[in-house]
């Protein structure tokens, strides 16, 4: 068990202002993983004050971009060396299967490298002839200020570094607010950044409940909020930030569609749904949980999908052969179970799964991989983000019909197209109102912008667009 007794504020461990502590438990067997201080408003004030000192009078915002890049490059090396350790530890916090936490941790290194690559060519300051040729203009991109970065529990290191890297590269001090479900693993990042050469006061890492988190994001000395989480919470942050004219970026929920075009190999695509739709037990904002298939092929596709899901190992997430583990908590399990009950009440039919515990398992926050068929896109299970291993198979009559179904959603984060003809797939992809799409299972590009349309968020992460979320533009005409 890991017991952390002090907060990480301004690059140092200091005693918390209060006595409240948070327990992190493993939802597979309810064992205690560790404890950590639960921050109160006093702790937030200390962290914000440290960040304010760093921004107003410290060296970090005033360093040459290359100096900041050198620090983050060293951190990236330190972090990559502990990838397996972090993957195992995170698995015990949020019960994500070890295969998934390992894959995510291995993906953090290229994510970090892409940010560093984008920073090298980023136009931090350029001088150009002003329009009309009378003067010169210096166009500067300067750090936006003190950043509050609020992250979720489902991929904690990836989410944290997707915000820390661009913010720090831009010269911004950061207060990182960890999710209570994964309140321990993020603590390791603090000392690692200090070992890499980050100056004092630039980084603080806190764990807080909803009320104290709201105090952080509305703090008068916080200039920018970067948030990943639910759409409901994102709306509250946007409203509060708007009231203060505070900068913000939001990476929110999704209800992404996989469109299987008529010429696709139905059996092959059915075998990929485990990764696109059930990744991390379905607890992923980019999970493609609406599966759109031609009406004439629905029976064959569902038969192949059910056969594949029946072959999956469900159980202890610490075992590498386990594909599906428990959900992050009993509360989340109950929430997903409620959606399954709603789907049945709405008239959808179960092809596999449901509320019965997986065979041979009598403990833990489990939901069996579940597939609904005869789903109408207007149903609640097709319109709302469930965040669990629940898929909806929706038949379509034509490609135009499939595009209309895919776009008939309040969300627009991810999606996928499958076709024997990549050009046909690209034509369809251009018609989908969503921020990211993959064709035939292609992996994402960390230099390309990531983010959502509609209620899936505002702003982008990764590459130069990601760095651009943490700068203000200044024009100096000479």
Predicted pLDDT at 133: 79
Torsion of CA 181, 186, 188, 191, to 10 degrees: -140
What is the residue whose two structure tokens read 């900041």? 68
Band of pLDDT at residue 439, cut at 50, 70 and 90: very high
Q: Residue 134 above 90 pLDDT?
A: no
Predicted pLDDT at 125: 97
What six digits make up the tokens of 27?
Answer: 């939802």
User: Residue 474: which of 141, 122, 169, 64 has the closest Cα?
Assistant: 141
Dihedral sign computed on CA atoms, order 184, 189, 195, 197: negative
What is the Cα–Cα distance from 90 to 218, expressed in whole angstroms?
29
Q: Residue 282 above 90 pLDDT?
A: yes
- Per DSSP bridges, beta strands 411-412 and 453-454 are antiparallel
Q: With H, G, I as helix, E, B as strand and everything else as coil, classify residue 273.
A: helix
Q: Residue 153 above 90 pLDDT?
A: yes
User: Which residues lie below 8 Å from residue 427, measured CB to CB, with a gap of 6+?
Assistant: none
What is the residue whose two structure tokens read 């936006």? 144
User: Residue 373: which of 455, 290, 259 has the closest Cα?
Assistant: 290
What six digits make up the tokens of 228?
Answer: 């990943």
Predicted pLDDT at 265: 96
pLDDT, tens digit (0-9, with 9 covering 90-100), for 372-405:
999 999 999 999 999 999 999 999 999 999 999 9
Question: Residue 244: which H helix or E strand, with range?
Answer: helix 231-244
Dihedral sign computed on CA atoms, order 63, 68, 74, 75: positive
Phi/psi zone of residue 277: left (φ > 0), alpha (ψ -120 to 50 degrees), beta? alpha
Predicted pLDDT at 255: 98
What is the Cα–Cα distance from 242 to 265, expressed in whole angstroms?
48
- pLDDT average, residue stretch 312-335: 97
- pLDDT average, residue stretch 32-50: 98
Backbone angles phi, psi at 118, to 5 degrees: -65, -35
Predicted pLDDT at 359: 86
What is the percentage of the chain residues whose pLDDT exceeds 70?
Answer: 100
- Per DSSP bridges, beta strands 438-439 and 415-418 are parallel
Band of pLDDT at residue 93, cut at 50, 70 and 90: very high
HSE-up of 444 (CA within 13 Å, CB side)?
A: 24
Q: What rounded mean pLDDT belongs to the chain?
A: 97
User: CA-CA distances (angstroms) from residue 67 to 29, 61, 196, 218, 318?
Assistant: 46, 11, 12, 31, 40
Q: Are 371 and 353 in contact (CB under 8 A)?
A: yes
HSE-up of 83 (CA within 13 Å, CB side)?
A: 17
Q: What is the DSSP letter of 126?
A: E
What six digits make up the tokens of 192?
Answer: 């690692």
Backbone angles phi, psi at 137, to 5 degrees: -125, 130
Band of pLDDT at residue 89, cut at 50, 70 and 90: very high
- pLDDT average, residue stretch 190-213: 98
Phi/psi zone of residue 133: left (φ > 0), alpha (ψ -120 to 50 degrees), beta? left
Band of pLDDT at residue 132, cut at 50, 70 and 90: confident
Residue ranges of domains in the chain, CATH in brackets = 2-252+456-477 (3.40.605.10), 257-446 (3.40.309.10)
- pLDDT average, residue stretch 461-473: 98
Residues identified as active-site:
251, 285
User: Residue 292: which of 282, 281, 304, 301 has the closest Cα?
Assistant: 301
Q: What is the DSSP letter of 198?
A: P
- Per DSSP bridges, beta strands 453-454 and 203-207 are unpaired
What is the percentage of the chain residues whose pLDDT exceeds 90?
Answer: 97
Q: Are 177 and 254 in contact (CB under 8 A)?
A: no
What is the Cα–Cα distance from 69 to 8, expressed in whole angstroms?
23
- pLDDT average, residue stretch 55-72: 98
What is the Cα–Cα distance from 9 to 7, expressed in whole angstroms?
6
What is the Cα–Cα distance from 451 to 128, expressed in whole angstroms?
31
Q: Are 100 and 279 in contact (CB under 8 A)?
A: yes
Q: Are 249 and 459 in contact (CB under 8 A)?
A: yes
Q: Reduced to 3 DSSP states, what percent helix, strand and coil does the chain have, rounded to the nearest 5?
A: 40, 20, 40
Predicted pLDDT at 91: 98
- pLDDT average, residue stretch 153-158: 98
b/e map 17-38, b = 16+ CB within 10 Å: beeeebebbbbbeeeebbbbbb
What six digits make up the tokens of 262?
Answer: 């008529």
């Amino acid at each position: 068990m890991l017991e952390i007794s002090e907060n990480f504020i301004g690059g140092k461990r200091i005693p918390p202002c209060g006595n409240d502590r948070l327990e992190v438990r493993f939802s597979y067997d309810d064992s205690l993983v560790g404890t950590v201080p639960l921050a109160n408003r006093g702790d937030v004030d200390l962290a914000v004050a440290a960040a304010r000192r760093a921004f107003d009078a410290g060296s970090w915002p005033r360093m040459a971009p290359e100096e900041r890049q050198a620090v983050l490059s060293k951190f990236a090396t330190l972090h990559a060396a502990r990838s397996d350790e972090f993957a195992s530890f995170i698995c015990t916090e949020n019960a994500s299967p070890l295969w998934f936490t390992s894959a995510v941790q291995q993906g953090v290194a290229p994510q970090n490298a892409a940010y560093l690559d984008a920073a090298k060519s980023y136009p931090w300051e350029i001088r150009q002839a002003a329009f009309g040729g009378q003067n010169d203009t210096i166009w500067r991109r300067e750090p936006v200020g003190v950043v509050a970065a609020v992250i979720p529990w489902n991929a904690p290191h990836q989410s944290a570094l997707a915000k820390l890297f661009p913010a720090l590269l831009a010269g911004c001090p950061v207060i990182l607010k960890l999710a209570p479900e994964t309140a321990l693993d993020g603590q390791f990042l603090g000392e690692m950044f200090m070992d890499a050469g980050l100056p004092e006061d630039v980084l603080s890492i806190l764990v807080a409940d909803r009320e104290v988190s709201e105090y952080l994001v509305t703090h008068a000395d916080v200039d920018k909020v970067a948030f990943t989480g639910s759409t409901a919470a994102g709306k509250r942050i946007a409203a509060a930030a708007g009231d203060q004219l505070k900068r913000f970026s939001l990476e929110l929920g999704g209800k992404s569609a996989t469109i299987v075009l008529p010429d696709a190999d139905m059996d092959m695509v059915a075998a990929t749904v485990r990764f696109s739709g059930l990744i991390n037990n379905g607890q992923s904002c980019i999970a493609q949980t609406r599966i759109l298939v031609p009406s004439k092929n629905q029976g064959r596709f569902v038969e192949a999908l059910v056969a594949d899901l029946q072959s999956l190992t469900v159980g202890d997430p610490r075992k590498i052969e386990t594909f599906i583990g428990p959900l992050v908590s009993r509360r989340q399990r109950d929430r997903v179970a409620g959606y399954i009950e709603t789907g049945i009440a709405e008239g959808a039919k179960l092809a596999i799964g449901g509320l019965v515990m997986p065979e041979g398992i009598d403990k833990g926050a489990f939901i069996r991989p579940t597939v609904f068929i005869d789903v109408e896109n207007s149903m609640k299970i097709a319109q709302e983000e469930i965040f669990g291993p629940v898929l909806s198979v929706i038949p379509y009559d034509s490609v135009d019909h499939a595009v209309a179904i895919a776009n008939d959603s309040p969300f627009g984060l991810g999606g996928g197209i499958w076709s024997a003809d990549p050009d046909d797939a690209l034509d369809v992809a251009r018609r989908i109102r969503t921020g990211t799409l993959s064709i035939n299972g292609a992996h994402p590009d960390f230099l390309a912008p990531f983010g959502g349309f509609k209620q899936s968020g505002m702003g982008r992460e990764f590459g130069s667009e990601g760095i651009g979320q943490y700068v203000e533009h200044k024009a100096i005409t000479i």
